């Protein structure tokens, strides 16, 4: 933990032989969640945890058993749920942070990352070769056809659109989150991967993996 104002660094102990695969902060800032997997020379782990860190005490206060090794993690905007990907098992775990109950959600493809709409009703999942959307009420999964090799998904601040970078065909897909379909495809060339949306929703930043360039798109807020 780095205190930016005091320029001090504090170590948080208690992780033992676990490697940290991902971090996500609660919206209130009182908790940070760490994806934990046992150290191993073999990548596919059979179990994993979420470590809960109290940011006031800078201490690990409890762990939540996932049943599969976590990769990327994200917390819902209301702070009630945590979603973590399990690439090797083709799963996303939905973790109720109040009850610590874990619901495994099976996918047809290996997940890479998740992004959650501001109303907490949808979770968009980029997979190895596809895009999925999870209904957070029913935990049902539906595919959305996008470009080749989707790698990153970001949601507009108002939650009306999702943007997906398509690494394989040099494009960005624009998704209507209500209709859950692609409304536009923007050709950016190269190999787009990282995405960021400006806080006002007017600009989308697209990072190209190989060229080291960032393309700025003006988008409908």
Residue-level pLDDT at 84:
97
- The pLDDT assigned to 169 comes to 95
* CATH numbers and ranges of domains, the chain: 1-108 (2.130.10.10)
Q: What is the 3-state secondary structure (H, E, C) of the chain?
A: CEECCCCEECCCCCCCCEEEEEEEECCCCCEEEEEEEECCCCCCCCCCEEEEEECCCCEEEEEEECCCCCCCEEECCCCCEEEEEEHHHCEEEEEECCCCCEEEEECCCCEEEEEECCCCCEEEEEECCCEEEEECCCCCEEECCCCCCEEEEEECCCCCEEEEEECCCCEEEEEECCCCEEEEEEECCCCEEEEEECCCCCEEEEEECCCCCEEEEECCC
Residue range 9-66, pLDDT digits in tens = 877 777 888 889 999 999 999 999 999 988 665 555 567 999 999 999 999 999 999 9
Given a cut of 60, whether residue 73 has pLDDT beyond it is yes
Give the per-residue pLDDT at 64.
96
Instruction: Name the pTM for this structure.
Output: 0.92
pLDDT of res. 13: 72
For residue range 82-108, what is the model confidence (pLDDT) as tens digits? 999 999 899 999 999 999 999 999 999
What pLDDT is stored for residue 152 in this prediction?
96
């Amino acid at each position: 933990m780095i205190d930016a104002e005091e320029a001090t660094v504090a170590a948080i102990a208690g992780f033992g032989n676990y490697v940290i695969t991902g971090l996500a902060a609660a919206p209130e800032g009182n908790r940070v969640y760490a994806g934990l997997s046992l150290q191993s020379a073999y990548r596919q782990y059979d179990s994993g945890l979420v470590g809960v860190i109290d940011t006031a005490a800078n201490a690990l206060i409890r762990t939540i058993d996932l049943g599969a090794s976590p990769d990327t993690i994200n917390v819902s905007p209301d702070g009630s749920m945590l979603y973590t990907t399990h690439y090797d098992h083709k799963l996303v775990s939905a973790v109720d942070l109040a009850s610590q109950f874990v619901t495994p959600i099976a996918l047809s493809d290996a997940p890479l990352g998740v992004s959650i709409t501001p109303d907490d009703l949808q979770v968009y999942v980029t997979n190895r070769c596809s895009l999925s959307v999870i209904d957070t009420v029913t935990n049902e999964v539906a595919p959305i056809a996008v470009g080749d090799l989707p790698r990153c998904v970001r949601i507009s601040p108002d939650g009306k659109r999702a943007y997906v970078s398509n690494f394989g065909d040099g494009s960005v897909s624009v998704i209507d989150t209500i209709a859950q379909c692609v409304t536009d495809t923007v050709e950016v060339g190269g190999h787009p991967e990282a995405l960021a949306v400006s806080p006002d929703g007017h600009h989308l930043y697209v990072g190209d993996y190989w060229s080291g360039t960032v393309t700025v798109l003006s988008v409908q807020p």
